[in-house]
């Protein structure tokens, strides 16, 4: 199977990643079905790059991110990070991997332990990875991290509930940075924040990327935010990547009919802009029994009979622009 | 002006808490004319939802209370009305839909039962006729197989379909005003587009007015004729939609509009997003003077002394800023 290759040095390569979840039912909780949450996803992320992963609820974008970190065990496929297959790691190798890859979650209210002070939340990772030999060294490092994300040193003595949503997200970022990671999976990091605060956090993520040479996998459903922050963008639909392209290219010349519809549905904050909207009919189909062939054919405005039979492969339509559609690109 | 449906004047809805009085809505003026869609925008805690719920008197009292102001519904102040009179208005004239359709539908009744209940409240019909009416409403909001789906329970519908059910229920009393409180916030963009289109279609069909509460500037730009921007319990700017986006006057409105990344412009990631520094002030002890002063780039001494009143800067365009 073909897969996109970029000329830059890849930090992460994902190959044919799959994750099936069992659906249990009946009185004995037997496995009655399987959800194909991630259904053969391949991409890579170059060093220092931001890959945006977009799609609607249930398309598998968060599961993909978690499989890469092995917070969820993938069912099959390979995840290559700096030349090692993450899916085969265990013990010490996995622990050291956790230093290199970190995650920032969507909900800054649910992802911080409410009983720990901020100093302990950030310091915990330093202790686990033995990065702070003394109490003093640990406190110094926590203060440094708080300042890096725009918080005050005395904030380390407070509890999470004393902070606003935007500040909590900064704490989450400081916690991720504590172990000096190379890759950060940002899972909807600004979705729960108000717009004015959202802009502050996006700017912070961009500054940190520049300062520490970080690589991001940026998962979000907000296409405007993803376009702004990403170098390249991958669009997912029902567990599969349907299109990958450099950010501006994807927005200017979307090839896949789903990408096109998705982009045209984004409301533009300018009443003088009038666009033609491609209205998709119906809802996303049930991932337990996804449509045959191309998963999108049931809602696709240009579907032809064979779309229900043949699965389109992701192929390179122009340099760096990959699309999986029989009739586009 | 003669066709004013709703006219909120100087409304103050406060909440008594253990820590003191929270001035959630603190002197709000808002007008909605017949047939127009008015957007009420602002961030979490600015008082937009409390304003909307005040109109239907859906505020628990206590802890809430109307401290001052009037809510004129077709010229009559509804604040002094009793429960029965309010129910008349809720049943026939003003309907509301919420952000989270799952929590606003009753999970143990079929959607048909729930819609038929509204219809029966409004018209004298047999249960069978009311159920047929419910199916008709589902068909109207483009739910496939309405005859069959009336017998389904809310959990059998997707998020977008549930919001359609809510709209069907709200419209079944043929209201003059539909209050939509973040109706598409929980939905995906393609589904959001469907629901916004449906609301527009229904508005044209029934000639009702819509009060659209949202934090999404894009949604406002595409659906509203006039917009009211709220910040920390107060109205900071009010304008026709073109003027608000083309010539925003209040520094908060300007910041809000500029802090959104735009996919329709080829600026991309080189440009930094403009952000508004700091966070929203506490409504327990709101700052004296302009509530935005602490975060405002143009703040001067005078801003912290008195609260700037709304002043008209162009026809229909009013701003609460000394600049």
Which three-class secondary structure string do you get for A123-167? Answer: HHHHHHCCCCCCHHHHHHHHHHHHHHCCCCHHHHHCCHHHCCHHH
Lowest mean pLDDT among A51-60, B120-129, B248-257, B311-320: B120-129
The model's pLDDT over B21-33, given as tens digits with 9 standing for 90+, comes to 889 999 999 999 9
Please report which confidence band the pLDDT of residue B267 belongs to, taking 50, 70 and 90 as the band edges: low
Where is average pLDDT lowest: A26-30, A145-149, A162-166, B203-207?
A: A26-30
Pick from A246-260, A261-275, B236-250: least confident: A261-275
Per-residue pLDDT, B184: 86
At A1, the pLDDT band (50, 70, 90 cuts) reads: very low
Q: Give whole-number Cα distances, B71 to B4, B16, B57, in Å.
A: 12, 21, 10
Q: What angle do CA A9, A13, A17 make, to 5 degrees?
A: 170
Q: Which of A40-54, A238-252, B303-317 has the lowest mean pLDDT?
A: B303-317
Of the partner residues B192, B217, B268, the one whose CB lies closest to the CB of residue A248: B268
A215 Cβ contact list (under 8 Å, min separation 6): A11, A12, A45, A46, A47, A48, A49, A50, A182, A183, A184, A209
Contact A224 B260 (CB under 8 A): yes
Which pLDDT belongs to residue A240?
A: 95
Question: What rounded mean pLDDT belongs to chain A?
Answer: 90
In chain A, positions 78-117, which contact chain B (CB-CB < 8 Å)? none
The residues facing A93 across adjacent strands are none
Residues of B in contact with A225 (CB under 8 A): 261
- Note whether B192 contacts A: Cβ–Cβ < 8 A: yes
Task: Pick the more confident residue, A168 or A2.
Answer: A168
Q: 224-283 in B: which are within 8 Å (CB) of A?
A: 241-242, 245-246, 255-257, 259-264, 266, 268-269, 272-277, 279-280
Q: What integer is the mean pLDDT of B114-143? A: 86
Structure tokens at A183: 């890759």
Unique residue bearing structure tokens 């699309």: A323
Is the pLDDT confidence value at B269 over 70?
no
Top pLDDT among A2 and A11 is at: A11
Give which of B143, B144, B189, B245 to mutate to test A binding, by max A Cβ within 10 Å.
B189
Q: Do B190 and A224 touch (CB under 8 A)?
A: no
Structure-token match 């290559």, residue found: A80
- Judged by CB atoms within 8 Å, which residues 254-283 of A form the interface with B? 261-273, 275, 277, 279-280, 282-283
Which comes out higher in pLDDT, residue B120 or B29? Answer: B29
User: Is A200's Cβ below 8 Å from some Cβ in B?
Assistant: yes
**Mean pLDDT over the full length of chain B:** 88
Contact B197 A283 (CB under 8 A): no
% of chain B residues with pLDDT over 70: 98
Q: What's the pLDDT at B272?
A: 80
- On whether any CB of chain A is under 8 Å from the CB of B218, the answer is yes
Question: What number is the ipTM of this complex?
Answer: 0.81
pLDDT at residue B266 in the model: 61
For A167-203, write each residue's pLDDT tens digit. 999 999 999 999 999 999 999 998 888 888 888 899 9
Q: Are strands B317-319 and B234-240 parallel, antiparallel or unpaired?
A: antiparallel
Q: Is the pLDDT of residue A6 over 50?
A: no
Using CB atoms, which residue from A194, A248, A268 is nearest to B44? A194
pLDDT confidence tier of residue A8, bands split at 50, 70 and 90:
low
Asked whether the predicted pLDDT for residue B158 surpasses 90, the reply is: no
Residue appearing with tokens 């939905």: B187
Question: In the prediction, which pLDDT does A131 show?
Answer: 87
Strand A50-54 and strand A76-81: the pairing is unpaired
Residue A89, pLDDT > 80, answer yes
Does residue A214 have a pLDDT over 90?
yes
Q: Chain B: nearest CA to A128, how far in angstroms? A: 33
Grade residue B301 by pLDDT with cuts at 50, 70 and 90: confident
> Over 80: is that where the pLDDT of A329 sits?
no
- pLDDT of the residue at B2: 52
Residue B218 has its nearest CB partner, among A227, A248, A267, at A267
Contact across the interface for B279 and A272, Cβ inside 8 Å: no
- pLDDT, tens digit, 9 for 90 and up, residues A38-70: 999 999 999 999 999 999 888 999 999 999 999
Secondary structure (DSSP) of A174-230: HHHHTT--SEEEEESTTTTS-HHHHHHHHHHHHHHHHHHT-EEEEEES-HHHHHHH-
Above pLDDT 70, what percent of chain A?
Answer: 98
Inter-residue contact A56 to B190 (CB < 8 Å): yes
Asked if residue A144 has pLDDT above 70, the reply is yes
Mean pLDDT to the nearest integer, B223-239: 94
Verify whether the Cβ–Cβ distance A195 to B269 is below 8 Å: no
Question: Residue B88: pLDDT above 60?
Answer: yes
The residue-averaged pLDDT of A128-132 equals 87
- In this structure, how many other beta carbons lie within 10 angstroms of the beta carbon of residue B185? 15
User: Which phi and psi angles does A144 have, rounded to 5°?
Assistant: -60, -45
Question: What's the CA gap between B199 and B203, in Å, rounded?
Answer: 6
Ranges A19-23, A77-81, A118-122: which has the least confidence:
A19-23
pLDDT band of residue B156 (cuts 50, 70, 90) is: confident
Mutate to test the interface with B, among A49, A152, A269 (most CBs of B within 10 A): A269
pLDDT of res. A7: 46
Q: Give which of A190, A192, A268 to mutate to test B binding, by max B Cβ within 10 Å.
A: A268
Choose from A12-16, A276-280, B153-157, B310-314 the range with maximum mean pLDDT. Answer: A12-16
Q: A247 — contact with chain B (CB < 8 Å)?
A: yes
Chosen from A56, A109, A194 to mutate, greatest number of chain B CBs within 10 A: A194
Interface contact flag, A56 B266, Cβ < 8 Å? no
Residue B62 preceded by cis peptide, ω within 30: yes
Tell whether the model's pLDDT for residue B1 goes beyond 50: no
A47, A246 contact by CB (below 8 A): no
């Amino acid at each position: 199977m073909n897969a996109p290759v970029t000329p830059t040095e890849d930090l992460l390569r994902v190959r044919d990643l799959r994750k099936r979840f069992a659906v249990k039912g009946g009185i004995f909780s037997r496995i009655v079905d399987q959800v194909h949450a991630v259904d053969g996803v391949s991409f890579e992320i170059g060093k220092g790059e931001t890959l945006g992963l977009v799609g609607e609820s249930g398309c598998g974008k968060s599961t993909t991110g978690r499989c890469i970190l092995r917070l969820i065990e993938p069912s099959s496929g390979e995840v290559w990070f700096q030349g090692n297959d993450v899916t085969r790691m265990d013990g010490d190798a996995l622990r050291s991997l956790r230093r290199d890859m970190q995650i920032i979650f969507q909900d800054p209210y649910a992802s911080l332990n409410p009983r720990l002070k901020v100093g302990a939340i950030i310091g915990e990772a330093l202790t686990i990875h033995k990065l702070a030999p003394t109490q003093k060294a640990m406190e110094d490092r926590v203060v440094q991290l708080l300042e890096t994300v725009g918080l005050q040193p005395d904030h380390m003595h407070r509890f999470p509930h004393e902070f606003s949503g935007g500040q909590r997200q900064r704490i989450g970022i400081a916690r991720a940075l504590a172990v000096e990671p190379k890759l950060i999976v940002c899972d909807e990091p600004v979705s729960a924040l108000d717009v004015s605060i959202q802009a502050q956090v996006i700017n912070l993520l961009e500054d940190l990327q520049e300062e520490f040479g970080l690589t991001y996998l940026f998962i979000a459903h907000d296409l405007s935010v993803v376009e702004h922050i990403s170098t390249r963008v991958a669009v997912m639909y029902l567990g599969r990547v349907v299109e990958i392209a450099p950010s501006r290219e994807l927005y200017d010349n979307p090839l896949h009919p789903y990408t096109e519809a998705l982009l045209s549905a984004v409301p533009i904050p300018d009443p003088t802009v009038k666009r033609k909207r491609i209205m998709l009919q119906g809802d996303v189909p049930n991932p337990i029994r996804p449509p045959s062939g191309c998963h999108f054919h049931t809602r696709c405005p240009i579907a032809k009979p064979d779309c229900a039979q043949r699965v389109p492969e992701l192929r390179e339509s122009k340099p760096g622009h990959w699309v999986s559609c029989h009739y586009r690109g | 002006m003669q066709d004013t449906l709703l006219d909120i004047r100087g409304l103050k809805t406060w909440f008594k808490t253990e820590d003191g009085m929270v001035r959630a809505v603190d002197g709000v003026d808002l007008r909605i004319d017949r047939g127009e869609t008015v957007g009420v925008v602002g961030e979490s805690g600015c008082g937009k939802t409390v304003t909307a719920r005040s109109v239907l008197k859906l505020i628990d009292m206590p802890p809430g209370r109307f401290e001052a102001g009037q809510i004129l519904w077709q010229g009559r102040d509804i604040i002094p009305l009793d429960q029965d009179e309010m129910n008349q208005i809720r049943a026939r004239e003003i309907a509301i839909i919420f952000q989270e359709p799952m929590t606003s539908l009753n999970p143990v009744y079929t959607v048909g039962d729930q819609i038929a209940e509204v219809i029966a409240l409004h018209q004298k019909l047999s249960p069978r006729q009311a159920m047929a009416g419910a199916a008709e409403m589902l068909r109207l909001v483009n739910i496939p197989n309405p005859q069959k789906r009336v017998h389904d329970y809310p959990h059998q519908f997707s998020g977008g379909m549930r919001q359609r059910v809510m709209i069907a229920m709200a419209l079944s009393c043929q209201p003059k005003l539909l209050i939509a409180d973040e109706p598409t916030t929980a939905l995906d963009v393609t589904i959001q587009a469907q629901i916004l289109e449906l609301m527009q279609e229904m508005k044209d069909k029934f000639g009702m007015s819509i009060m659209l509460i949202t934090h999404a500037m894009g949604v406002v730009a595409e659906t509203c004729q006039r917009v009211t921007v709220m910040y920390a319990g107060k109205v900071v700017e009010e304008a026709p939609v073109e003027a608000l986006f083309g010539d925003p006057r209040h520094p908060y409105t300007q910041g809000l509009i500029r802090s959104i990344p735009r996919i329709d412009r080829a600026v991309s990631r080189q440009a930094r997003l403009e952000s508004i520094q700091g966070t929203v002030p506490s409504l327990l002890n709101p700052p004296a003077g302009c509530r935005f002063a602490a975060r405002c780039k143009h703040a001067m001494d005078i801003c912290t002394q008195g609260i700037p009143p709304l002043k008209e800067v162009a026809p229909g365009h009013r701003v609460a800023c000394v600049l």
